[in-house]
Amino acid sequence: MRKELNFILIGLILLIFSIQTSAQQKFFIDLNNRTNHLFTVTLYPDHLKKDNDIYQFAATAPGTYQTMDIGRYVRSFKAYDINGNEIETNHVTTNQWSLSSPEKINKIIYQVADTWNTKVDSNYIYQMAGTTIEDNDVLINGQCVFGYFENMQSYPIKVKIDYPKDWLLGTALPMDKKGFYDADTFDKIVDSPILIGKLTKASTNIGKTKIDVYTYSKTGIIKSEDLVASLKDILNAENDFMEGLPVSHYTFLFHFENMSAGAWEHSYSSEYIYQELPLNLIEDNIKSVVAHEFFHVLTPLTIHSELVAKFNFVKPVMSQHLWLYEGVTEWAAHMLELRDHLITLDQYLKVLQQKLNANDSFKQDLSLTDLGIHCTEMQDQYPNIYMKGAIVAGLLDIRLLELSHGKKGLREIIHQLSKIYGPNKSFNEKTFFDDFTKMTYPEIGDFFDKYIKHADPLPIKECYNKLGINYKEIAGYDSSKVSLGLQFGFKNNKIFVSNVMPNSPNSGIFKEGDILGKYEGNEITLGTVQKIFANIRKLKPGGELKLTILRDGKDIDLTAKAGPLLIKHVFEVNPNATKDELDLRNAWLKNL
C-alpha cells in the first residue's frame, strides 16, 4: 500500500509540475475601441523557450481550401520584457516573425487589419472565413486574428474580449470563471468563430443536442427566434439522417448586412454571411446551406484523414479526399431533405439537373482527387466539388444500394465509418479507398478508380435507369428562355468566362479567361453581378448585352448575343418502371 501511495504521490507531483510549467497563450482584445478596422491584440505568453523563437500566422485554414497568408494583414508587431523594454523582432516571411529572446518576453502587442475592409491584390479571403470590425458588429475567425509560437500549435489558448455592455457574444467556446474563453489548441481557436455585437439569441433542442442561434441583422428585421422556427424541420431531418446528432451542443452564427458570401463549417458551430432581406425571400437558400454545413459534423469533422486532424498552418498539404468532405456532404444535404419529405422527387431531380449544368463549365478531364490535392491553386475549378462531387456521391450511393440489393447505401457506410473513426481517430490518407472498398464490395474499388481517381464520363443514364428514372443529356431548345452560351467562374472577387459552349451565339466573340470588367459603366463584382444575370433573363433570343471585358490586360467593349436556351440533363420518372427498379427506388428514397 505504501509503495502504491508513493507512486500516487509522485504522479500528483508530476501532474502539478506539468500544470505549472505548461505554457499558455493569453490573448486580450479590446473592442471598445474599433477604429481603422484594426484588431489590437495583447498576448501574454507563459514559459517560452529558445525554440519558441518564431511567431506564426496562418497560411490558410482547414475547410477554406484557399491561400490566406494572414501575415499580409498584420500592421505592427512588438515584443516587450517584464520591465517594458522592447525585444527585437523581425518579419522574416509573409506569415512569420522571429523573436530574438523569446525566453525574456512578457508580452507581445500587434495589430491586424480586418479582412472585409482590406483590399488585397490576390488570394481574396472569403467573407465567411474572414474578419470585420464595425460600429455595431465584429466577426472573428481565429486564424485571422491569433497566431502561435513555433512548437506550440498544440498548447492551450485563453482569450478575453472586452466589448460594449449592450452587445452579445456568440461562440461555441466555453468560458472559465475568470471570463476567458478556452481553446485547448490553436486548431481549436481556428475551429471556433466568434460573432459579437447587437445580436439576438434563441435556443432549441434537437434530439439530445442543444442548439443556440446568434444573429446580427443590420436593421433588425431578422431575429434568432425566427431562424430557429425556420430551421427546425431541416435540423430534425439531419437528426434522422445521422441517427442522432453526434454533438451535445451546436452554435449557429448569422450575419445579415450588405452581401451574401456563403458559410463555413466547424466542429460545434457554423457561420453564415447573407445580404439582409426579408427572411421569406432567402429562407429556402438558408435551409439548403444549413443542411450542408451542419452535416460537416460527420464529414470531415468526424471522418477525416490525418491531414485534416494535424493541419499544417505553415505549408498546408491538402487532402485527396475532398470528394468525401465536400462532395458527399453536398449530396447528403439534398438527399436528407428528399428522404424527410421536405422536397419532392421532382425538386430533387431539378437539383441534379442544375449541378450537371454547372459541371459542364468546369474542366472535364480533372479528377476529384486532383481537385482535392490542388484546390488552393485551382480556385477557378474548386466550386465543382459541390457539383460533380455531389453527383458522384449520388452515383456511389446508387451503386452501393444495387450491390447490397437495397439494404445498404452511402448513408449506412458513412455511419459505419463514423463508428470506426471519430473526431480523435483519423483514417489513413493513402489507404482510405482500399479500406472503404474492403468494407463494401470489390466493384466499389473500380468505381473509385474510374470516377474519383480518374475523370471517366459519369454513368448518369445507366445508374438512374436502375431506379426507374430516365435521363437525357440533350433534350432540345426552349425558345421562351435565353442563354449566352457562356459559363462563368469566380476568382479573387472577379467573374470570368470559364467556358464558351460549342455552337454558342458568342463563339468567336468571347474567350475563356475573359474577365467581366464593367456593365453600364459600373464595375462588375460578386456584389453587382446579380444585376447582369437578372437582365440576361429578361432578354429574348437575338437580344444583346454590352459589356466591357479585360483580356490580356486591355479593356475591350463586346456585345454579348442571346440565343434560345439549350435544355440539358433532364431527369424524368419512368411510369413503366419494372418491379426491380421500383424496389431499388423505394430503398433509395428512405433512410435504411
Least confident of 78-92, 138-152, 191-205, 490-504: 490-504
Query: What is the structure's pLDDT at 3?
Result: 39
Query: What is the structure's pLDDT at 6?
Result: 46
SS (H, E, C) 442-467: HHHHHHHHHHHHCCCCCCHHHHHHCC
Query: What is the structure's pLDDT at 23?
Result: 52
Task: Give pLDDT tens digits for 330-373.
Answer: 999 999 999 999 999 999 999 999 999 999 888 999 999 999 99
What pTM did the predictor assign?
A: 0.86
Residue 504, Cβ neighbours under 10 Å: how many? 20
- Give yes or no for residue 102 having a pLDDT over 50: yes
Least confident of 160-174, 182-196, 295-309, 542-556: 542-556
H-type alpha helices, 474-565: 529-538
Residues facing 93 on adjacent strands: 96
- Give yes or no for residue 263 having a pLDDT over 80: yes
Grid cell for residue 101: 529572446
SS (H, E, C) 254-312: EEEECCCCEEEECCCEEEEEEECCCHHHHHHHHHHHHHHHHHCCCCCCCCCEHHHHCCC
CATH of region 298-468+576-592: 1.10.390.10
Share of the chain above pLDDT 70, in %: 95
Q: Which residues contact 20 (CB under 8 A, 6 or more apart)?
A: none
Q: Name which residue leads in pLDDT, 252 or 535.
A: 252
Q: Which fold has domain 473-569?
A: Pdz3 Domain (2.30.42)
Cell match 465509418: residue? 417
H-type alpha helices, 363-403: 368-373, 388-403
Confidence bin at 32 (pLDDT 50/70/90): very high
Share of the chain above pLDDT 90, in %: 74
Scored b (16 or more CB within 10 A) or e, 173-195 reads beeeeeebbebeebbbbbbbbbb
- Give yes or no for residue 314 having a pLDDT over 90: yes
Q: Name which residue leads in pLDDT, 247 or 477.
A: 247
- Give yes or no for residue 240 having a pLDDT over 70: yes
- Give yes or no for residue 378 having a pLDDT over 50: yes
Query: What is the structure's pLDDT at 532?
Result: 74
Query: What is the structure's pLDDT at 297?
Result: 93
Task: Give pLDDT tens digits for 208-228.
Answer: 999 999 999 999 999 999 999
Query: What is the structure's pLDDT at 2?
Result: 37
- Give yes or no for residue 412 having a pLDDT over 70: yes
Query: What is the structure's pLDDT at 553?
Result: 86
Angle, helix 329-339 to helix 279-295, in steps of 10 degrees: 120
Residue 274, Cβ neighbours under 10 Å: how many? 23
Q: Cβ-count burial of 1 within 10 angstroms (0-12 exposed, 13-18 middle, 19+ buried)?
A: exposed
**Domain extents for the chain?**
15-113+134-191, 298-468+576-592, 473-569
Confidence bin at 5 (pLDDT 50/70/90): very low
Task: Give pLDDT tens digits for 569-592.
Answer: 999 999 999 999 999 999 999 999
- Give yes or no for residue 513 having a pLDDT over 90: no
CATH top class, domain 15-113+134-191: mainly beta
Helix (H, G, I), strand (E, B) or coil at 592: coil
Tell me 118's DSSP state: -
Do 27 and 180 form a contact (C-beta atoms < 8 A)? Answer: no
- Give yes or no for residue 281 having a pLDDT over 80: yes
Task: Report the alpha-carbon distance of residue 67 to residue 46 in Å, rounded.
Answer: 30
Q: Name which residue leads in pLDDT, 204 or 513.
A: 204
Query: What is the structure's pLDDT at 465?
Result: 98
Mean pLDDT of the chain: 91
Task: Give pLDDT tens digits for 432-450.
Answer: 999 999 999 999 999 999 9
Q: Which residues contact 80 (CB under 8 A, 6 or more apart)?
A: 86, 87, 105, 106, 107, 108, 109
- Give yes or no for residue 16 having a pLDDT over 80: no
Residues 420-434, mean pLDDT to the nearest whole number? 95
Confidence bin at 492 (pLDDT 50/70/90): low
Residues 308-320, mean pLDDT to the nearest whole number? 91
Grid cell for residue 513: 479567361
Residues 36-54, mean pLDDT to the nearest whole number? 95
- Give yes or no for residue 527 having a pLDDT over 70: no
Confidence bin at 476 (pLDDT 50/70/90): confident
Query: What is the structure's pLDDT at 543?
Result: 84
